[in-house]
Structure 1
Amino acid sequence: MAEPGEQLPEEVLALIFRHLSLRDRAAAARVCRAWAAAATCSMVWHDTTISCDCEREGTLLPYLSACLDHVHNLRLEFEPAREPSRRAATELLTALAVRTPGLRSLRLECRGEKPLFDAGRDILDSVHAICRAACALRHLDLRRLPFTLDDELVLQAARGCPELRSLFLDNCTLVGSVKPDSVLELLEACPRLCALGLHLASLSGTALQVLAAPDRAPFALLALRCACPEDARAPRLPEEAWAAVRRRHPGLAVELELEPALPAESVTRVLQPAVPVAALRLSLSGDTVGPVCFAARYYGATLRALEVRAAASAELDAALELLAARCAGLREVHCFCVVRPSVLHAFRAHCPRLRSYTLKLTREPHPWLPTPVA
């Protein structure tokens, strides 16, 4: 601690203040001019998480207004079912659109109860404003928005954010409204895009051809969520298109998330041998053993994470043991049903890179927490 009358350098104060909550930062800014300067400098605000808990932080808007120009990477949390929280988030995003053309990364996360189906227009309008103004935006993550995302939003991002590197639209919604043509325009308008999250119905064979083009920048991640009725009706993507993308981008990782709404015949269209699946999340109401066996047969060289939500059975245990034997590169496995001891032994014996697992041998109260591997 500095002696009375001494003052820590601004850069040291800034390093301290960046770890404080918004309320504490605001309090520090009222101590003296030196602290105010440190609490509002760019080092404190470059990477920022803001929670729109209006009961505690609703009085901070004047303080935030002075700092918005310094925000480059923002994670914004709010409760869409609570009107004051949603209004605060909307006002903040609108202010960002006006004040911070230098915004680089935006991640929106909804907390609390799920809102009404038709809610969220105010939030989405403010995201539109961000995409129009933040021409330097590189990362936009909307996976935690429960609202229906549409073509208009994707096209706005394509036209307003040519520097995009990642865009995640694979959110929990009842309707998939992003058409494949919009994704094509996005890929053509954002040549440096290297990570994309979509609902399966939004992806087309033509989009895979665009990704496989010789002049395409390296593409690293494709996250596909299969949960909406539109996903269940999506046509099978050509194996040769997947093979071409894999040749062009040998480091490509595909994440597949299959939800209960997906019927068995759709699952067989989604799981294809040529897809380099690195993460597979299964929460199916029907057959889960078949997809696990499929992954063991075709994804042994690429699979790094597996999550299974299913009813316990001897058949599932056997499929998991087979997968453990064939997928030596697995780093995470999480099975949310009781398994027999031989399943745990198989993963510990055959997967030397395993970092954490959820494999319970007896029933326990939820939530089940993963076990780290020492």
Structure 2
Amino acid sequence: MAEPGEQLPAEVLALIFCHLPLRDRAAAARVCRAWAAAATCSAVWHDTNISCYCEREGALPPYLSDCLDHIRNLRLEFEPSREPSRRVATELLTALAGRSPGLRGLRLECRGEKPLFDAGRDILQAVRAICGTARALRLLDLRRLPFTLDDSLVLQAARGCPELRSLFLNNGTLVGSVGPGSVLELLEACPHLCTLGLHLASLSHAALDALAAPHRAPFALLALRCACAEDARAPPLPDEAWAALRRRHPGLVVEVELEPAMPAESVTRVLQPAVPVAALRLCLSGDTVGPLRFAALHYAATLRVLEVRAAASAQLDSALESLAPRCPGLREVHCFCVVRPAVLHAFLAHCPRLRSYTLKLTREPHPWQPKLVE
């Protein structure tokens, strides 16, 4: 009888195995020699998704250490409130720091609830270790971590990852602990950085000037999250600095996310006419109509994505109706409250590039799913 591995070509087996969770890859590697070779080849591990909350509570599979050198892009999911899940994630990241100098991309995503008394020091220490050894790292995405990020992590990335292209620090923390000085050092140390996600309090006039410098590589995306007390107290950045940045990088896209912690006076400091806002996400505890009217007036040429989380009202409907004809370049509109039919008709009539929308005319069970435009 032929061995199972002889029934399919090695490249087909590798294509199948790359979609399996760790424990299933480990089981496949024990079937026969052919399957073991396919389960541990570089094609399986080059782009790897690992979900630690699906793994057993034990340690990592023993064969995994032989595969770490092959990992180039890793997306790692774990559940911080479950100690076994967090321990496996930490062990994997720590092992990766010592075995995979060729790592190019790292995305970390948390699922479930954050433990009340855990600051994520174990995970963040492992991330710092990776930044100290993975000199080829180009992408570091920490947007889905609920832990407070700090200057030491940013400085480690600046000193250890000179090839960094994309860095996302705009996570859901309630405390902003990354200072503007660390971001400025990061920009000076990583000349190829073209995508950056920050809390507003981490951005400074000096950083905008550094990005607008003549020798700077083209800068593509700046994602700003305004969600904590430090963001609300951040001083306004001069319009002339934004204008200079836009002249230097005419293709620059800015995404702005405003959370309930931002009072009305802070919102007016963030939404400035010279900022080329392409994505605006509003989840405010106060006035939402004012920011919508401001966006319709100043971001008509740049706005591509609009997301609104607010209570339904006639004033909100009116602001949305007025915005639609002024922003014909919109590609996505998502409003998470019931709107009147005239709002839906306005966006469909005036936004020919619209690809998807969430505009409900009647209350439906959540979660609401967007509708694709045919």
Structure 1 and Structure 2 fold alike (TM over 0.5) = yes
Is residue 167 of structure 1 aligned with residue 167 of structure 2?
yes
Q: Does residue 1:311 correspond to 2:311, yes or no?
A: yes
Give the AA of the match of 1:328. Answer: P
Q: Which runs of 4+ in 1 moved over 6 A?
A: 2-5
Moved more, 71-80 or 12-21: 12-21
Deviation for aligned residue 1:117: 5.1
- Is the counterpart of residue 197 in structure 1 residue 197 in structure 2? yes
Taking structure 2 as the reference length, what is the TM-score of the superposition?
A: 0.97
Residues 180-212 of structure 1 deviation map (CA, whole Å, 9 limit, x = unaligned): 010000000000000000000000011000101
1:224 is paired with a residue of what secondary structure? strand
When residues 35 and 320 of structure 1 are mapped into structure 2, their CA distance, relative to the original with a 3 A threshold, is same
Between the aligned partners of 1:287 and 1:91, the Cα distance in structure 2 is 46
SS of match in other structure, 2:361? coil
SS at match of 2:358: strand
Structure 1 window deviating more from structure 2 (204-213 vs 108-117): it is: 108-117
Q: Once structures 1 and 2 are overlaid, which stretch shifts more, 182-191 or 57-66? A: 57-66
Query: What is the aligned partner in structure 2 of residue 127 from structure 1?
Result: 127
Matches within 5 A, 1:249-260: 249-260=249-260
Does the 8 Å CA contact 1:205/1:238 hold for their aligned counterparts?
yes
Question: Given that residues 22 and 61 in structure 2 are in contact (C-alpha distance below 8 angstroms), is that contact kept between their aligned partners in structure 1?
Answer: no
Give the whole-Å Cα distance in 2 for the aligned partners of 1:179 and 1:5: 54
- The answer on whether the counterparts of 2:243 and 2:275 sit within 8 Å (CA) in structure 1 is yes
Could you tell me how far apart the structure 1 residues matched to 2:55 and 2:196 are?
Answer: 36
Alpha-carbon distance between aligned partners in 1 of 2:141 and 2:44, rounded to the nearest angstrom: 22
Residues 44-103 of structure 1: per-residue CA shift (max 9 Å, x gap):
110011111265474652132221111110011011111111111111000000000111
SS of 2:61 mapped into structure 1? helix
| Cα distance in 1, alignment partners of residues 274 and 266 from structure 2 | 17
Deviation at 1:115, TM superposition (A): 2.0
Gaps of 5+ in 2: none
State the partner residue of 1:354: 354
CA RMSD of aligned residues (A): 1.6
Check 1:56–1:4 CA distance in 2 against 1; reply closer, same or farther (3 A cut). closer
Aligned pairs (5 A) from 1:72-87: 72-87=72-87
1:9 corresponds to which residue? Answer: 9
Residue matched to 2:139: 139
| SS, match of residue 154 in structure 2 | helix
- Deviation of residue 154 (structure 1)? 0.3
- Mapped contact 1:117–1:147 kept (Cα < 8 A): no
Task: Give the structure 1 partner of residue 151 of structure 2.
Answer: 151
Q: State the shift of 1:325 in Å.
A: 0.6
CA–CA separation in structure 2 for the residues paired with 1:292 and 1:156? 39
Q: Which residue of 1 aligns with 2:97?
A: 97
- Per-residue CA shift, 1:127-168, capped at 9, x if unaligned? 010000111100000011111101111000000000000000
User: Partner letter of residue 69 of structure 1?
Assistant: D
Per the TM alignment, residue 6 of structure 1 is displaced from its structure 2 partner at its CA by 4.6
Deviations 1:204-229 (A, max 9, x none): 01100010111100001000000110
Distance 1:54 1:23 in 2: 9
8 Å CA contact 1:25–1:39 kept in 2: the answer is yes
- Structure-2 change in CA distance of 1:81 and 1:98 (3 Å): same
Please report the TM-score for the alignment, with normalisation by the length of structure 1.
Answer: 0.97
Deviation string for 1:13-54 (max 9, x for gaps)? 212222333333222211211111111111011001111126
- Does structure 1 retain, via aligned residues, the 8 Å contact 2:60–2:88? no
Query: What's 2:30 paired with?
Result: 30
Shift in Å at residue 10 of structure 1? 2.1
Superposition pairs of residues 294-373 of structure 1, within 5 angstroms: 294-373=294-373
Residues matched between the structures, number: 373
2-side partners of 1:90 and 1:216: how far apart?
Answer: 35
Q: Relative to structure 1, is the Cα distance of residues 5 and 188 closer, same or farther in structure 2, using a 3 angstrom cutoff? A: closer
Q: What is the one-letter code of the residue matched to 1:330?
A: L
Structure 1 stretches lacking a partner, 5+ long: none
Query: What amino acid is the match of 1:48?
Result: T
Identity over aligned residues, as a percent? Answer: 84
